[in-house]
Amino acid sequence: MLHHKKLSGLYIHIPFCRKACNYCDFHFSTQLHSLNRMVKGLAKELKLRSSTPKSSIDTIYFGGGTPSILADQSLNILMETIKTYYNVSTSAEVTLEANPDDIDSDKAKSWKRAGINRLSIGIQTFNDKILKILNRSHSADQALKSIEWVRQAGFHNISADLMFALPDASDILLNTDLKILMNLDLPHLSIYGLTIEDKTVFGNWKIQNKRAFPSDADYERNYRIVHEVLIQNQYEHYEISSFAKNKHFSRHNSSYWLQNPYLGIGPGAHSFDGENRGHNISNNQIYLKQMDIGHAQLIIEPLSLTEKMNEYIMTRLRTHFGLDFEQFEEKFHRDIRNDHLKFIDQICLEGLAFLEKNKLKLTFAGFLISDEICARLFYPIS
């Protein structure tokens, strides 16, 4: 069992999508007939995992899957259940992930009324041909229109997802996508390079040599273009894949990276109580049966002290928060700076990292090889 004495984030996983994107290995189903039953199950889990006195919540995040698939009434049920069983801060950040094809004027207004105050819109690219290759359910026009609708409904805190290193894409296409995106002037962007995962359509195509995918060199060049264009446009590259203007950082995700406790609701959702991690089963039908009998079973992932130390190193170095030497010593009783004195000096000299107020932070060059840097700083697992 996890002990959630203090919560800061609440994540609700909506495990349904209209169709499967060819690159995606998240937990979702396209069998929408069990959507209403799932909403009841999620409401039940919210109640089962609540405590007395109520836990305080600073951020709520509806992720997926595709949360924008929820009917207005279903979203209202979930929001009301959260407010009944949790102590939601009046200034809470409440994010909903949305796909452009689900957005119209009425939908955007109903989200606003339900208490959503931040939207994360999955655009990926503005090129219709590539959207088809990705098997996305929307068009470029719908993406542009969706931003208009949500702005007209009064949303300012908007994030968009874009992808690079896409099949059949080129630097010209990426620059075109970025130009369109910069014109939209959104406060937050999440920009990911495509990675080919096993058990996805792209994974199969790759094994069967059915399509050429960008090389590591393409990936690196594209990532550099993204970084440079965004910096020129006053975005802060505050996490490996995240960019914010005027400090509009994602409070929910920042809380993950700072290792604050959070509760994950729904099939496959992860939770963290400040010490240990756990997750729900990634199977909609088994999850629903568990909710029917009122038994929310969490699969605990016990972490050794060394694993916790390495996780701290990894999550901190991927963000602008940086690896805090003093905090590391307080938490783990190890002087990491001293343990890795030579290596830290070397990466700072090579322009891969820098020191700021007793914290080690990576530069963009460091982000490019962050896995290698982290691996060198990790403590051996016995």
List all residues 6 or more positions away from 245 whose beta carbon is below 8 Å from its beta carbon: 185, 186, 187, 188, 234, 235, 236
Taking the least distance from each CB to ligand SF4, the nearer of 9 and 122 is 122
Taking the least distance from each CB to ligand SF4, the nearer of 281 and 368 is 281
Q: Cβ 306 to ligand SF4, closest distance in Å?
A: 33
Q: Cβ 30 to ligand SF4, closest distance in Å?
A: 8
Taking the least distance from each CB to ligand SF4, the nearer of 100 and 214 is 100
Q: Kindly state the number of chain residues that form the binding site for ligand SF4, as judged by CB under 6 A.
A: 11
For residues 82-95, one letter each, b for 16 or more C-beta atoms within 10 angstroms of the residue's C-beta and e for the rest, the string is beebbebeeebbbb
List the x/- string, 91-130, binding to ligand SF4 by CB under 6 A. --------x----------------------x--------
Q: Cβ 352 to ligand SF4, closest distance in Å?
A: 31
What single string gives the DSSP state of each residue in 333-355?
S--HHHHTHHHHHHHHHTTSEEE
Q: Are strands 87-98 and 118-124 parallel, antiparallel or unpaired?
A: parallel
Tokens 């503005």: give the residue. Answer: 126
Q: Which of residues 21-60 bind ligand SF4 (CB under 6 A)?
A: 21, 24, 26, 28
Q: Cβ 99 to ligand SF4, closest distance in Å?
A: 6
Q: How far is CA 169 from the centre of its chain?
A: 24
Tell me the three-class secondary structure of 45-65, residue by residue: HHHHCCCCCCCEEEEEEEEEC
Q: Cβ 134 to ligand SF4, closest distance in Å?
A: 8
Q: Cβ 21 to ligand SF4, closest distance in Å?
A: 3
Cα(75)–Cα(53) distance, rounded to whole angstroms? 25
Q: Does 17 bind ligand SF4 (CB under 6 A)?
A: yes
Nearest C-alpha neighbor of 183 from the set 238, 131, 233, 245: 233
**Cβ atoms within 10 Å, residue 327:** 14
Q: Which two tokens stand for residue 90?
A: 């009046």
Taking the least distance from each CB to ligand SF4, the nearer of 59 and 66 is 66
Q: Please compute Rg for the chain using Cα positions.
A: 21
Q: Which of residues 54-83 bind ligand SF4 (CB under 6 A)?
A: 64-66
Q: Does 254 bind ligand SF4 (CB under 6 A)?
A: no
Q: Cβ 107 to ligand SF4, closest distance in Å?
A: 16
Q: Does 303 bind ligand SF4 (CB under 6 A)?
A: no
Contact set with ligand SF4 (CB under 6 A): 17, 20-21, 24, 26, 28, 64-66, 99, 122
